[in-house]
Amino acid sequence: MSKFYLTLVFVFTFALSSQAQWMWNINQMNDVKNNIHSPQYIETYNQLIEDADRALTRGPWSVTFKEGIAPSGDQHDYVSMARYVWPDPTKPDGLPYVHRDGESNPELEKYDRNPLGYMANAVTTLSLAYFFSGEEHYAEKATELLRVWFLNEDTRMNPHLYYAQFVPGVNDNKGRPFGLIDTYSFVEMLNAIPLLETSKHYIEKDKNGLQAWFREFIHWWKTSEQGIAEKNGRNNHGLAYDVQLVIFSLFADDKETALEVMNEFPTARLFTQIEPDGSQPHELRRTLAYHYSVYNLYFMVDMAAIANGFGINTREWVSPDGRSIYKAVDFLTPYLEKEVEAFPYRQISGWERAQQALCRELYRISSIDPSRTNYLALYHQFSTQVANDRLRLLYGVR
């Protein structure tokens, strides 16, 4: 075992016992909480409470509530349709569906992907509202949503994704490896759930039940045909696979798996997907090339945030020929506030939205690595963030 690996084990073990979240800095969040009614945070806090009050009136959601049913016949099986597939206009029944990259099919609403996102986002919002306000009704609602989706026998999701992102008329409507990205909404949610542990409503039975669910899910994730294929993905899907596996493992107290993935991440993912000039070829071939380049960067920053929380110096994630997260950022920033025509690749829609998504990553990176003052300056120059943006609560006003 290498000296670096042993050092990482020590740092990892120490950090795991000293923080409740893995992507956010709990000390920073406590500082924000202590000043939550100050002018720099009050508008953001009020927006969070407004969002949480709205979440109190929504849900619960369950895989058993959808219109359709999986080919297995089990209503507890998660089902989603591939985002960019549409009926074949040359076929009377439209089958098999055909691919139209970058164009989302509204039929997605019939299945479980959107309810999963609604549930996870609501749990995150309610957990944060409980943390910053101390009001128990937010924790009570968050716990109800978790029990319905994961724990209650009548409504729980089976811990697998065998039918995620199926293409109608293809492979008996079974899912694809790409479907594993559907549960990325769980990453932020699992980061927020530990905030509930001081609540009287989130009890030990809930925590143990969720950990058991995710242990089963991890086993499927690591051993299923879909999981193995997604692990071998060479684009954003491979990175998303790794980040999810790390967070699932940390939540389920599987330190060994989380450590292994983090230890291999720079060489296995970053250096294989980022060129020395910072370009990401696998993303640039898409019809939403800028969007997917930023999207992949989002996964990189998530992993860097997790690693940074465990004392790992992510500034050293640089290959001998200069590949790094920073190079990927620097490839994209020259196009901020330029017209889409200035970007030498295809971006058929969502240009301004993708630019603002990049600004959010600039803010997060400057929090992980305060030496990147140039990124913070770019954020302030080009971001349209308003005073009620939740980034302020997670990272403080910078």
CA gap 41, 39 in Å, rounded: 6
pLDDT bucket at 16, cuts 50 / 70 / 90: very low
Q: Output the pLDDT for position 11.
A: 39
Q: Does position 19 have pLDDT exceeding 60, yes or no?
A: no
CA gap 65, 32 in Å, rounded: 38
Q: Does position 106 have pLDDT exceeding 50, yes or no?
A: yes
Among 386, 367, 299, which residue's Cα sits nearest to residue 27? 367
CB atoms within 10 A of CB 286: 21
Q: Does position 18 have pLDDT exceeding 70, yes or no?
A: no
Q: Tell me the percentage of the chain whose pLDDT exceeds 70.
A: 95
Task: Using the CB atoms, write b or e for 91-115: b if 16+ within 10 Å.
Answer: eeeeeebbeeebeebeebeebbbeb
Report the CATH architecture of 3-395.
Answer: Alpha/alpha barrel (1.50)
pLDDT bucket at 20, cuts 50 / 70 / 90: low
Q: Output the pLDDT for position 166.
A: 94
Contact 232, 239 (CB under 8 A): no
**DSSP codes of every residue in 241-293:** HHHHHHHHHHHTT-HHHHHHHHHHHIIIIIHHHS-TTS--HHHHTSTBHHHHH
Q: What is the pLDDT of residues 33-46, one digit of tens each?
A: 999 999 999 999 99
pLDDT bucket at 8, cuts 50 / 70 / 90: very low
Contact 218, 248 (CB under 8 A): yes
Among 88, 217, 92, which residue's Cα sits nearest to residue 164? 217
Among 294, 87, 274, which residue's Cα sits nearest to residue 170? 87
Q: Does position 15 have pLDDT exceeding 60, yes or no?
A: no
Q: Does position 127 have pLDDT exceeding 50, yes or no?
A: yes
Lowest pLDDT segment from 251-255, 278-282, 385-389: 385-389
Q: What is the pLDDT of residues 68-89, one digit of tens each?
A: 888 899 999 999 999 999 999 9
Among 99, 63, 62, which residue's Cα sits nearest to residue 82? 99
CA gap 264, 262 in Å, rounded: 5
- Stated pTM of the model: 0.92
Going from the C-alpha of 336 to that of each of 276, 279, 280, 326, 329, the distances in angstroms are 21, 16, 17, 16, 11
Q: Does position 111 have pLDDT exceeding 90, yes or no?
A: yes
Burial of residue 197, with CB atoms counted within 10 A of its CB: 0-12 exposed, 13-18 middle, 19 or more buried: middle
Going from the C-alpha of 151 to that of each of 6, 141, 175, 187, 206, the distances in angstroms are 37, 15, 23, 18, 8
Q: Output the pLDDT for position 13.
A: 39
Q: Does position 334 have pLDDT exceeding 80, yes or no?
A: yes
Q: Tell me the percentage of the chain whose pLDDT exceeds 90.
A: 87
Q: What is the pLDDT of residues 43-68, one digit of tens each?
A: 999 999 999 999 999 999 999 999 88
Contact 45, 393 (CB under 8 A): yes
Q: What is the three-class DSSP state of 85?
A: strand
Q: What phi-psi label fits residue 215: left (phi over 0), alpha (psi between -120 and 50 degrees) or beta?
A: alpha
Q: What is the pLDDT of residues 345-384, one digit of tens each?
A: 999 999 999 999 999 999 999 999 999 999 999 999 999 9
Q: What is the three-class DSSP state of 308?
A: helix
Output the average pLDDT for the chain. Answer: 93
Spatial neighbors of 310 by CB under 8 A, at least 6 apart, are 8, 11, 12, 15, 16, 262
> Tokens for 19?
């923080």
Q: Output the pLDDT for position 6.
A: 36
Among 189, 190, 181, which residue's Cα sits nearest to residue 237? 181
Q: Does position 251 have pLDDT exceeding 80, yes or no?
A: yes
Q: Output the pLDDT for position 229.
A: 97
Q: Does position 9 have pLDDT exceeding 80, yes or no?
A: no
pLDDT bucket at 12, cuts 50 / 70 / 90: very low
Pairwise pLDDT comparison (135 vs 107), residue with the higher score: 135
Q: Which H or E run includes 303? A: helix 289-309
